[in-house]
A and B are shown apart, each in its own frame.
Chain A
Amino acid sequence: MEKLGVGIGWRPEIDLTVERLPGVDFVEVVAENLHVSHLPESVLLLRDRGIPVLPHAVSLSLGGAEPVDRDRVAHLASLAEALDAPLVSDHVCFVRAGGLDSGHLMPLPRTRDALDVLVANVKAAQQDLPVPLALENVAALLEWPDADLTEGQFFAELVDRTDCHLLIDVANLYANARNLGTDVSRFLDEIPLERLAYVHVAGGEEHQGVYHDTHAHAVRPEVLDVLAQLRARVDPPGVLLERDDHYPADAELAGELAAIRAVLG
């Protein structure tokens, strides 16, 4: 996998901050928020500086029972081409069911049937995409009963059958370990880390005993510990800080990037 380095999620509110922060090797844009015909000046500027810009989708609903929406895939594909992106990504989840949009990244039941549906959708999307697709683990507040596979096994089979790449969100791993009791090291042992494209790091908040993956708070040391666990197994091609709200001062964001770099060694 291409070496990406350390990056940050590009958001319109902090465009100038992202442009001037030291040590930003790549950025990620939320695919649904951009239009290929009028891309933000800041994103074009970063692209022209040679900084990889990776479109990150949240709405393909690859785990949904319905076939993938080809228009959404086409949008992601055209964005990848316009941005010269080396790869694109979405999540292992569903956001729509029966015509309703949940507005959330809902976890999938880890059954063979659900995996078959996911694999079919991923393959359909891959056919229309000009670049590799990486898939991300989500944070869940609930687990479907009667799982056939662990989350790690589920991802391993998904990679095996679709040849997709992995986008591992260590904050989501921490959230699931904290809220659902999932085993982080077992997950990391079970997934094919050689297919790792990059890693997400994000901040969150604990509220009434539940950890919320808010992307609006500072990155907690426990999340960096999960990153360190991953780093002990593999040198990730890229690690990206996600911050979506309550943006702190430039210096604070720079500090979080430096903390990530320190873990990577």
Chain B
Amino acid sequence: MVANSWTPATAGSTPDPWQGHAGPAQTGLGLEEQAFLVGGPGRAAEFAVMSLTEAGALRISRDGLVSPVQSRTQPRTPLQARTLASVPRSLGDVITATAGGPESGRLRLHLIDRGFVVSPGRRRAVRGLRRLVVLAAVLGVFAAIALDLPFAVAGGTAVAMLLVAAVLGRAGRPLTASGRAEVRRLRQAAATAMTEPGIPNRLTLVAAYGLLGKVRGQYLWRILGIAPTVSATLRRRSRSQGSSGGASCGGGCGSCSSSSCGGGSSSDSGSSSSSDSGGSSCGGGGGCGGGGGGD
């Protein structure tokens, strides 16, 4: 399980800058990367902020002001570095700033390079092809009617083409098969984390559900012992998502297009994890953080 093998890396000891919260050796993905796969830049940003907080590099005040702790704590990932450069700010604003920084875009590219996220170009191509196939199926049915071909031929062709379209639809999802496997792995780890208290497990929950996600009917921020006044900075921004607050976050998340940051199969959605839609602080309506729910 990711949760149990979480081992903090000392700064500079890993060649891959994103490997700060390394998962098991066989997958190689850290929790921050997994958070991105599940919930997009907003979730990864939440993870970066909370991992720094749990490590004692940040402190959060009663009304949600996040400030640096004077120490030699070095950021372990570029996203954490962005977080440290963004404080002091309210928790909600730090997460937005982290999600909106160039590092989250680079994290996304890194995940594309490593074959966990489908590149936008490929997704566009697949979606275009799918539209063509659907159009061809419809035209084929009309043509069959016009040419008075047997129904079985027309219907069979149409059904075959729609099957092709369905397959293409799956291929057009934002996560690759290994990306979806990582998401499943994180969710399993989170399920275990609920029964084993400890810092790595708390962070696993953040990665899997987001602070505003619900776990067993309770908001995660509440489970983690975050004061309501602190979590209010998350909500406030979520509400204003449509106007100003969403800009930086929405932009980042837009690239991880709405319905499917989670990328898991729809069968996942019955689990409690799906209730975190709109969950991540940057989620608001679920456009961004809501990855978990979209799948």
Q: Which A residues are closer than 8 A to B by beta carbons?
A: 12-17, 40-42, 246-249, 252
Contacts and interface: CB of A to CB of B under 8 A. Distances in A.
Given A14-B61, A15-B61, A247-B67, 6 more contacts: A13-B59, A13-B65, A16-B59, A16-B61, A248-B69, A249-B69
A17 B88 CA distance: 16
A42 B56 contact: no
A16 B60 contact: yes
A149 B62 CA distance: 47
B199 to A, nearest CB: 15
Contacts of A42: 61-62
Interface centre among B61, B71, B229 (most CB of A within 10 A): B61
A17 B70 CA distance: 14
Contact of A41 (B65, B69, B229): B229
Given A13-B88, A41-B229, A246 B70 contact: yes
Interface residues of B, number: 13
Contacts of A14: 59, 61
Contacts of B63: 12, 40-41
Contacts of B69: 247-249
Contacts of B229: 41
A47 to B, nearest CB: 14
A240 B61 CA distance: 21
Interface string B50-91: 000000100111110101011100000000000000001000
A12 B229 CA distance: 13
Contacts of B88: 13
Interface centre among B63, B70, B71, B229 (most CB of A within 10 A): B70
A13 B61 contact: yes
Given A247-B69, A249-B71, A17 B62 contact: no
Contacts of B59: 13-14, 16-17, 247
A82 B274 CA distance: 48
Contact of A248 (B60, B61, B62, B71): B71
Nearest to A17: B59
Contacts of B65: 12-13
Interface centre among B56, B60, B62, B88 (most CB of A within 10 A): B62
Contacts of B62: 15-16, 40-42
